């Protein structure tokens, strides 16, 4: 599996016990149109290949003994990870168990990885515009201990130059600053998911760690990342975080 690990600048800001990574579409065994590193079981890919990709991923994750996979529904729930091969229906998961990784699958939506500053608690959230407007990131933050200082890292998602949306999306984020929505074609806007999420989380007291190595545009770099808007039928990459 082709993995993106934190660069040195980001690594220096993470708690010692926390590990995180982002997969790409490269290096797996899925065939067209999912080539090659698809990790999603719901897109029509061969399930045996998905299982092989997931196992290959786990083997590349030092200190991780299992991955909490989700059936994502563009909601706001953030349950506690249970592992053991159980797939939870939710768009986020929280773990305070060392070695149990939280994971979300995306192909343009924004993945956000959370951790407490002491590294004992981690979470992952999937934020499409509906989940972001509904509060999935805030629900995830509420899972952390009240005294925790929470950090967040963003993964690959559709960039601010490519995410064209209608007026109904702008209305759903009436609280967001104008700089999060650039006027596009008549009746359209170009939305910046990163800016919206960063604004929302900073208001909630979360420290957002910027990382050029992981904040990549999935649509622009569709040769390396899955992009639903670019391809329609496509696979999903994963964003993962765990403590050791």
Q: Please, are residues 123 and 90 in contact by the beta-carbon 8 Å criterion?
A: no
pTM, two decimals, is 0.96
Per-residue CA distances from 130 to 72, 212, 217 (Å) = 12, 25, 19
The confidence score (pLDDT) of residue 41 equals 93
Number of C-beta neighbours around residue 210 at 10 A: 13
Q: How many CA atoms does the CB half-sphere of 127 hold within 13 Å? A: 31
Distance CA 147, CA 115 (A): 13
Cis peptide before 36 (omega within 30 of 0): yes
Domains and their CATH numbers in the chain = 3-157+206-243 (3.60.140.10)
> Residue 72: phi, psi to the nearest 5?
-90, 140
φ, ψ of residue 202 in degrees (nearest 5): -65, -35
- Rounded to the nearest angstrom, the gap between the alpha carbon of residue 210 and the centroid of all alpha carbons in its chain is 14
Q: pLDDT value at position 184?
A: 85
Six token digits for residue 196:
């919206």
CA pair distance 234, 12, nearest whole angstrom: 34
Q: Is 18:243 a contact under the CB 8 Å cutoff?
A: yes
Kindly give the pairing relationship between strand 150-154 and strand 110-116.
antiparallel
Which run of H or E residues covers position 207? strand 207-209
Question: Is the sign of the CA dihedral 83, 3, 220, 155 positive or negative?
Answer: positive
Q: Provide the pLDDT for residue 105.
A: 98
Q: Residue 115: which of 150, 66, 71, 159 has the closest Cα? A: 150
Each residue's pLDDT tens digit in the chain (244 positions)? 899 999 999 999 999 999 999 999 999 999 999 999 999 999 999 999 999 999 999 999 999 999 999 999 999 999 999 998 999 999 999 999 999 999 999 999 999 999 999 999 999 999 999 999 999 999 999 999 987 899 999 999 999 989 999 999 999 999 999 999 999 888 899 999 999 999 999 999 999 998 888 899 999 999 999 999 999 899 999 999 999 9
């Amino acid at each position: 599996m082709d993995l993106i690990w934190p660069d040195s600048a980001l690594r220096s800001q993470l708690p010692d016990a926390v590990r995180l990574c982002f997969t790409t579409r490269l290096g797996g065994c899925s065939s067209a149109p999912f080539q090659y590193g698809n990790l999603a079981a719901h897109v029509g890919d061969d399930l045996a290949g998905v299982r092989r990709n997931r196992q290959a991923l786990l083997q590349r994750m030092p200190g991780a003994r299992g991955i909490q996979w989700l059936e994502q529904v563009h909601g706001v729930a953030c349950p506690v990870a249970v592992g053991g091969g159980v797939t939870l229906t939710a768009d986020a998961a929280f773990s305070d168990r060392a070695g149990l990784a939280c994971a979300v699958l995306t192909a343009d939506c924004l993945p956000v990885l959370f951790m407490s500053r002491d590294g004992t608690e981690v979470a992952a959230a999937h934020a499409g515009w509906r989940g972001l407007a509904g509060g999935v990131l805030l629900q995830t933050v509420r899972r952390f201990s009240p005294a925790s200082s929470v950090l967040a890292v963003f993964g690959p998602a559709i960039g601010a130059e490519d995410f064209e949306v209608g007026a109904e999306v702008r209305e759903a984020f009436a609280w967001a600053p104008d700089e999060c929505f650039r006027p596009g074609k008549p009746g359209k806007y170009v939305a910046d998911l990163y800016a919206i999420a960063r604004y929302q989380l900073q208001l909630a007291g979360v420290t957002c760690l910027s990382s050029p190595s992981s904040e990549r545009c999935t649509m622009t770099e569709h040769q390396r990342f899955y992009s639903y808007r670019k391809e329609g039928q496509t696979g999903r990459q994963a964003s993962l975080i765990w403590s050791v």
